[in-house]
Amino acid sequence: MSTPRNVPLRRALYVGTFIHCKTLQELDICENGVIGVDEHGKIAFLERDAENVDLVTAAHGWGDAHIVRTSSSQFFFPGFIDTHIHASQYPNAGIFGQSTLLDWLNTYTFPLESSLANVNTARVVYSRCISRTLSHGTTTAAYYATNHVDSTNLLADICLDAGQRAFVGRCCMDSLSPDFYKDISADAAIADTKSTIDHIKSIDPTYGLISPILTPRFAPSCTPPLLHALGQLHRSTDLPIQTHISENLGEVQLVRKLFPESTSYAQVYDMYGLLTSKMILAHAIHLSTSERDLIKERDAKISHCPASNSALTSGGAKVRWLLDSGITVGLGTDVSGGYSPSMLEAVRQASLVSRHVAMLDGDAAKLSIEEVLYLGTRGGAKVVGLEDRIGGFEVGKEWDAQLVGLALVPEAKAAQHEGALCAESFKLPSGEGPVDIFGWESWNEKVAKWVYNGDDRNTLSVWVKGRLVHQRS
Amino acid sequence: MSTPRNVPLRRALYVGTFIHCKTLQELDICENGVIGVDEHGKIAFLERDAENVDLVTAAHGWGDAHIVRTSSSQFFFPGFIDTHIHASQYPNAGIFGQSTLLDWLNTYTFPLESSLANVNTARVVYSRCISRTLSHGTTTAAYYATNHVDSTNLLADICLDAGQRAFVGRCCMDSLSPDFYKDISADAAIADTKSTIDHIKSIDPTYGLISPILTPRFAPSCTPPLLHALGQLHRSTDLPIQTHISENLGEVQLVRKLFPESTSYAQVYDMYGLLTSKMILAHAIHLSTSERDLIKERDAKISHCPASNSALTSGGAKVRWLLDSGITVGLGTDVSGGYSPSMLEAVRQASLVSRHVAMLDGDAAKLSIEEVLYLGTRGGAKVVGLEDRIGGFEVGKEWDAQLVGLALVPEAKAAQHEGALCAESFKLPSGEGPVDIFGWESWNEKVAKWVYNGDDRNTLSVWVKGRLVHQRS
């Protein structure tokens, strides 16, 4: 169902409708497009309104290229970028009961994560998680693993093997964690983190597909010496960092108690040199205005995780308020605080949660279809620092894309059985996704239908850096 | 994929795990059950902890019965009851933009509904809508059609043919509606309504599967003479009624202006004899305490439509507050204010929306998995007045059920490839649903995973009144 890593890429032409985000407010819809992707997986050219594909092929001398065409109810769309997902928590997706963050960690999360000390367990969990996220069109993910070196290294191996672009973080946690699942010291946490960095360097020396990411679990799980050492490591390596911030009110109070010398949660990270333009902050629900301004000043990025925030009753993040201040925002599934590994679900929930925020803060808080799709693609690309390489279809960018297909309702057929309705009328074609198209919809309406009712069945093929990494069977 | 209506039913034994709602708070999980369903589609017996199926069969003299067995990752669950769905709006599912109720009606809804004056259009829309709702496990639905007699009658025909239990309502609307889509008078609305009642009586004389339902669109769409005449028709026929109430603040203000003599929205319906125990009120978001008390006093029922209420930014219904007062509550998809025809999505959204209500009103507002499933089955059965016939598995009830299957992750297989990871590890079995089971989950956890990540792929078979009405191909 995918092209193995050792098979060289062929040049390929993608022909038909492609849709991507032009700006936060606007989709770019190109109905008769041709995109040429070279043997390095890069977009070599892009022709709009191409009436005759043969002419385009000839003009570029690409007669030998492999051709992929869309039908009238299909379109190419950029792959999704999941800016916050705990691969290690995947088996718990959907299991959280009535909990909120701090009891959820102890009840559900730490026991599961600690079980990934066993590499065979980790292999089962990570293989399935990566298969699923690819099938949902996630071409790039910022993963939390666990604090185990071998399992974390295995996650990097699996991502590379599966062809998914990934940031893989060994989770640092030397405080307020259970004895059975904890770094024994700040030094040990740093040494283990360096081991995973070395491993990733050995399998992907240029970080072309897989990159390490420094991962202090969250401030309450880290002692000041660990935060300090991670800040040093960040400065010396320039590696990206990911963590959590201000997800839950109890957590915010705990941080205030644990770090009495700091003026805010954001300032804790800032104090240790972690709040930089390479920092991904997940959640950011209960920020003060001054925290928001500090985050903006440092150009740190925010991963909005709407499904998780509803599920754990954490709160409704004020995304409009963040965007208006100029902060870069992307989306995260946050499995398994978030119940779903699907970025399309994250996109949909970003829209729905923004409506709950709007019920309190007014209509301006509502995010449009265009905006939530932007957050899931271009926004995410900026969050992970890859906006020059992925997130949209432009010459020079890499081909991280999905082919989306919708089900066209067979109008004529159903209309035949005027008098006697027969069983045939009720038959749903097997394998077709849940999105029904009746033929009169504009492209914007088709996209809206996909966002609100689509699932992995609509993601027919997925490419990363030009390589086919998933195809529906 | 289903048993035609003219084939007589055989006695059938359903063997394996069945799960249904014992109370609002508790699931009844029976792992080794046998349910015998007779040739009338009724549950004749139910054996728990049945070690030996042959002994059960022999004891009941059911040696000739057809047997359906579950595997270890499957269970029988009652069919869902959708207490509020506009079948006529199905093609718009997912299309609502940034609108709220009153502009949504004019922009999206009235134009689509009016197009169903064409019976061929209606046939395409209704066939697909019913196929989809059955595939999602909806065994009973309270449908809004349009104000067209022929199309409404066709919807009843299609439901009967497909074998779905349904309440079919011709929509009454003689006021504040566009000229191209409006009843010309109260008398005409009543005459047309009687035509659909007569038609349904002619195709299903005992209303065994299909029942008419009186359907004033909502108070602002009806003149006092129409509401008065519908009240009289209700008294003379004892037919159920469905309408909307207090979905949107602008709507509530409009009702106050249109009915200055009434003390509240609920009281408008009460004034015309419509607020009775057979009334289904959709939404009920912005009720005053006195309205809630009046609804309780009249024993009218409420259809909570969480997906719709988020999508149209209508508000968060206070379900706990309604339940605590003793009001009967069920769930509705409210397509296409609601974007999805899936009742499992309605169940999931009821949980998520209750968490947004809890963020304001406190933890008690949160609905548990058990509670939202109860609302989608037993609650719904009470809402449509069929609690003696459907909603759970008891002797004497009719077999309205779904077989749910989850995907068991092949642990052993993945663990084989220790050194060299191969493409095989990443292959997702085709046709399997999105819910992954790792083998250690309790039944309650499996159910939670289904509620949060399941879709129509997990609904393998659906029965109504003992008849197979859907099976995944």
User: Which member of A421, A436, A453 has the closest CB to residue B161?
Assistant: A421
Say if CB A43 and CB A9 are below 8 A apart: no
Say if CB B145 and CB B170 are below 8 A apart: yes
- Are A415 and B366 in contact (CB < 8 Å)? no
Tell me how close the Cα of A268 comes to any Cα of chain B, in angstroms: 26
Say if CB B245 and CB B266 are below 8 A apart: yes
**DSSP structural state of residue B75:** E
Identify all chain A residues contacting B96, using CB atoms and an 8 Å cutoff.
448
Peptide bond preceding A336 in cis form (omega within 30 of 0): yes
Give residue A473's pLDDT band: very low, low, confident or very high (50, 70, 90): confident
Q: What is the structure's pLDDT at A7?
A: 87
- Are A123 and B366 in contact (CB < 8 Å)? no
Q: β-strand A407-408 against A401-405: which pairing, if any?
A: unpaired
User: Which member of A1, A4, A448 has the closest CB to residue B94?
Assistant: A448
pLDDT, mean over chain A: 95
User: How far is residue A362's CA from residue A168's CA, in Å, rounded to a whole number?
Assistant: 38
User: Which member of A95, A135, A430 has the closest CB to residue B428?
Assistant: A135
Identify all chain A residues contacting B414, using CB atoms and an 8 Å cutoff.
123-124, 127-128
Q: Which of A335, A422, A452, A472 to mutate to test the interface with B (most CBs of B within 10 A)?
A: A452
H or E element that contains B467 = strand B467-471
Tell me how close the Cα of A352 comes to any Cα of chain B, in angstroms: 6
Please name the residue ranges forming H helices in A62-118: 101-104, 110-115
**DSSP structural state of residue B205:** T
Residues with pLDDT less than 50, chain B: 412-422
- Are B131 and A426 in contact (CB < 8 Å)? yes
Q: What is the structure's pLDDT at A6?
A: 79
Tell me how close the Cα of B269 comes to any Cα of chain A, in angstroms: 27
Give residue A472's pLDDT band: very low, low, confident or very high (50, 70, 90): very high
User: Which member of B91, B161, B359 has the closest CB to residue A313?
Assistant: B359
Tokens of B447: 């159910």
Peptide bond preceding B336 in cis form (omega within 30 of 0): yes
Radius of gyration for the alpha carbons in chain A, expressed in angstroms and rounded: 23
Q: Chain A residue closest to B473 (CA)?
A: A430
Say if CB A68 and CB A403 are below 8 A apart: yes
Tell me if residue B140 falls in helix, strand or coil.
strand
Say if CB A276 and CB A298 are below 8 A apart: yes
User: Which member of A93, A130, A358 has the closest CB to residue B453?
Assistant: A93
Domains of chain B by start residue, with CATH: 1-78+397-473 (2.30.40.10), 80-383 (3.20.20.140)
User: How far is residue A56's CA from residue A61's CA, in Å, rounded to a whole number?
Assistant: 8
User: How far is residue A102's CA from residue A472's CA, in Å, rounded to a whole number?
Assistant: 38
Radius of gyration for the alpha carbons in chain B, expressed in angstroms and rounded: 23
| Other beta carbons less than 10 A from residue B204's beta carbon | 18
Residues 6+ apart with CB under 8 A from B16: B31, B32, B33, B69, B70, B71, B74, B75, B76
Say if CB B223 and CB B217 are below 8 A apart: no
- Are A127 and B425 in contact (CB < 8 Å)? yes
Q: β-strand A329-331 against A401-405: which pairing, if any?
A: unpaired
H or E element that contains B370 = helix B369-374
User: How far is residue A296's CA from residue B292's CA, in Å, rounded to a whole number?
Assistant: 46
Tokens of B188: 């005409």
Identify all chain B residues contacting A158, using CB atoms and an 8 Å cutoff.
421, 425
User: Which member of B130, B352, B456 has the closest CB to residue A434?
Assistant: B456
Give residue A416's pLDDT band: very low, low, confident or very high (50, 70, 90): very low
Q: What is the structure's pLDDT at B84?
A: 98
Identify all chain B residues contacting A125, using CB atoms and an 8 Å cutoff.
438
User: SS3 string of A81-94?
Assistant: EEEEEEHHHHHHCC
- Are B368 and A98 in contact (CB < 8 Å)? yes
Identify all chain B residues contacting A409, using CB atoms and an 8 Å cutoff.
124, 128
User: What b/e sequence results for A100-130 when a residue is b if at least 16 CB atoms lie within 10 Å of its CB, and e otherwise?
Assistant: bbbebbeebbbebbbbbeeebbbbbbbbbbb
Q: What is the structure's pLDDT at B420?
A: 43
pLDDT value at A391 more than 60: yes
User: How far is residue A334's CA from residue A303's CA, in Å, rounded to a whole number?
Assistant: 9
User: How far is residue A266's CA from residue A206's CA, in Å, rounded to a whole number?
Assistant: 31
pLDDT value at A431 more than 90: no
Please name the residue ranges forming H helices in A163-223: 186-203
User: How far is residue B466's CA from residue B447's CA, in Å, rounded to a whole number?
Assistant: 24
User: Which member of A98, A358, A360 has the closest CB to residue B366?
Assistant: A98
- Are A311 and B355 in contact (CB < 8 Å)? yes
Q: What is the structure's pLDDT at A43?
A: 98
User: How far is residue A9's CA from residue A124's CA, in Å, rounded to a whole number?
Assistant: 29
User: How far is residue A91's CA from residue A98's CA, in Å, rounded to a whole number?
Assistant: 18
Strand stretches in B38-187, DSSP E: 43-47, 66-69, 74-78, 80-86, 138-144, 165-169, 171-172
Closest CA to A457 of B135, B95, B139: B135
Through-space distance between the first and last CA atoms of chain B, rounded to whole angstroms: 7
Tokens of A403: 């082919």
User: How far is residue A355's CA from residue B115's CA, in Å, rounded to a whole number?
Assistant: 30
Q: Chain A residue closest to B472 (CA)?
A: A430
Amino acid at A112: L
Q: Chain A residue closest to B445 (CA)?
A: A95
User: How far is residue A226's CA from residue B278's CA, in Å, rounded to a whole number?
Assistant: 65
Q: Chain B residue closest to A120 (CA)?
A: B415
DSSP-assigned beta bridge partners for residue B281: B243, B302
- Are A313 and B355 in contact (CB < 8 Å)? yes
Q: How far is CA A451 from the centre of its chain?
A: 15
Tell me how close the Cα of B267 comes to any Cα of chain A, in angstroms: 26
**DSSP structural state of residue A21:** E
Q: What is the structure's pLDDT at A103?
A: 94
Q: Which of A25, A124, A286 to mutate to test the interface with B (most CBs of B within 10 A)?
A: A124
Tell me how close the Cα of A204 comes to any Cα of chain B, in angstroms: 16
User: SS3 string of A318-333?
Assistant: CHHHHHHCCCCEEECC
Q: Which of B124, B129, B347 to mutate to test the interface with A (most CBs of A within 10 A)?
A: B124
Residue A133 backbone class (left: φ over 0; alpha: ψ -120 to 50; beta: rest): alpha
- Are B472 and A339 in contact (CB < 8 Å)? no
Q: What is the structure's pLDDT at A4?
A: 78
Tokens of B170: 């011709």
Q: Chain B residue closest to A368 (CA)?
A: B98
- Are A366 and B428 in contact (CB < 8 Å)? no
H or E element that contains B428 = none
Q: How far is CA A145 from the centre of its chain?
A: 15
Identify all chain B residues contacting A97, using CB atoms and an 8 Å cutoff.
368-369, 448
Identify all chain B residues contacting A473, using CB atoms and an 8 Å cutoff.
430
User: Which member of B97, B162, B449 has the closest CB to residue A95?
Assistant: B449
Q: What is the structure's pLDDT at A470?
A: 97
Through-space distance between the first and last CA atoms of chain A, rounded to whole angstroms: 7
Tokens of A29: 């819809």
Torsion of CA B114, B117, B122, B123, to 10 degrees: -170
pLDDT per residue as tens digits for the range B340-394: 999 999 999 999 999 999 999 999 999 999 999 999 999 999 999 999 999 999 9
User: How far is residue B95's CA from residue A441's CA, in Å, rounded to a whole number?
Assistant: 10
- Distances, alpha carbon A439 to alpha carbons A220, A265, B106, in Å: 54, 51, 21
User: Which member of B130, B310, B409 has the closest CB to residue A426?
Assistant: B130
Between chain A and chain B, the number of residue pairs with CB atoms below 8 A apart is 190
User: How far is residue A240's CA from residue A237's CA, in Å, rounded to a whole number?
Assistant: 9
- Distances, alpha carbon B53 to alpha carbons B49, B73, B293, in Å: 10, 19, 50
Say if CB A402 and CB A77 are below 8 A apart: yes
- Are A423 and B453 in contact (CB < 8 Å)? no
User: How far is residue B340's CA from residue B94's CA, in Å, rounded to a whole number?
Assistant: 7
The owner of tokens 């006195």 is B290
pLDDT per residue as tens digits for the range A107-129: 999 999 999 999 999 999 999 99
Closest CA to A281 of A231, A330, A239, A234: A330
- Are A456 and B434 in contact (CB < 8 Å)? yes
- Distances, alpha carbon B188 to alpha carbons B184, B192, B380, in Å: 6, 6, 32
User: How far is residue B189's CA from residue B181's CA, in Å, rounded to a whole number?
Assistant: 12
Residues 6+ apart with CB under 8 A from A105: none
Tell me if residue B403 falls in helix, strand or coil.
strand
pLDDT per residue as tens digits for the range A323-368: 999 999 999 999 999 999 999 999 999 999 999 999 999 999 999 9
Closest CA to A308 of B432, B452, B328: B452
Q: Which of A352, A411, A473 to mutate to test the interface with B (most CBs of B within 10 A)?
A: A352
- Are A310 and B162 in contact (CB < 8 Å)? no
Say which range, A3-7, A145-149, B18-22, B64-68, has the weakest mean pLDDT.
A3-7
- Are B356 and A355 in contact (CB < 8 Å)? no
